Amino acid sequence: MAEDIKKIMFTVRKGPHGTIYVYEGLEVKLIMAAYDADISVVFIDDGVYALKAGQNTKELGIKGFEATYGVLVDYEISKVFVDKKSLEDRGLTQDDLVVIGEDEETEEEIRPKVVDADEIAAMMAEQHNILCF
Amino acid sequence: MLHTVNQSPFQKSTLESCLRFVRKGDVILLLEDGVFAAQAGTAMSSLVEGALKSNKVYALSADLKARALTDVIQGVEVTDYAGFVDLVEQHTTHAWL
């Protein structure tokens, strides 16, 4: 019944910690992943900072969510994309980003995939719903 | 696709970001502070003028009126809440919040 599976995209455009959006968005993704939905996540604009490795929120007194990003693939969220221009504008490369899991067979680390705006726009056009955080 | 933009182009780069992801056939709806982008003759008018070359751009009339914006860029279609609902019905929506 593959045609019944909803394609749902999440876009993350806000930086982490300044607002609750990124954290809340992550919660929603994990909940949605429990259902039979085809989930993809796209990080655009300051949203790319949410994926930067090495976040330490101890002094903010909050839990942070880098560890959760680290197991996204285990939650069957493996379609994770980053907008190339947003990344480059902020002086970042794919190597600066968190690992979201590892390949079951090769045990190779999986990082978010860097794609350009045209590729993201094409994916957007295929969705049933798009939620922005 | 329907792209909604509710942020002022003078304060945030939301509209600029949105326009990078707009494809042929997509429509853009400016609402709330997003309608400031629909004013003619501003430092930011070129964003909407550029978008109009390839896409339809709407602005929500209630938000224009509330902000006393009468000089709207030529080609921008002013729509009401019923029109907004029609657009949402016709397209998958991405809200550039």
Q: What is the mean pLDDT of residues A107-124?
A: 97
**How many beta-carbon pairs below 8 A join chains A and B?**
34
Query: Is residue A77 within 8 Å of residue A12, measured between CB atoms?
Result: no
Query: Is residue A65 within 8 Å of residue A23, measured between CB atoms?
Result: yes
Report pLDDT for B80.
98
Do B97 and A85 make contact, defined as CB atoms within 8 angstroms?
Answer: no
Report pLDDT for A104.
87
Report pLDDT for A2.
58
Fold exhibited by the domain B2-96: Hypothetical Protein Ychn; Chain: A, (3.40.1260)
Report pLDDT for A36.
85
Report pLDDT for A3.
65
Q: What is the mean pLDDT of residues A16-42?
A: 93
The tokens 């209630």 sit on which residue? B62
pLDDT in tens, B9-28: 999 999 999 999 999 999 99
- Domains in chain A: ranges and CATH: 2-132 (3.40.1260.10)
Q: What is the mean pLDDT of residues A45-72?
A: 94
Question: What is the chain B residue with the closest CA to A45?
Answer: B17
Q: pLDDT above 90 covers what percent of chain A? A: 90
What residues of chain B lie within 8 A of the CB of A129, using their CB? 92
> Using CA atoms in the order B54, B60, B61, B67, what is the torsion angle rounded to 10 degrees?
-110
The distance of Cα A132 from the centroid of its chain, to the nearest Å, equals 12
Residue boundaries of the structural domains of chain B: 2-96
Q: Are strands B56-60 and B27-30 parallel, antiparallel or unpaired?
A: parallel
pLDDT in tens, B34-92: 999 999 999 999 999 999 999 999 999 999 999 999 999 999 999 999 999 999 999 99
Strand residue runs (E) in chain A: 6-12, 37-43, 79-83, 101-102, 109-110, 113-115, 129-132
Do A127 and B92 make contact, defined as CB atoms within 8 angstroms?
Answer: yes
Q: What is the mean pLDDT of residues A25-45?
A: 94
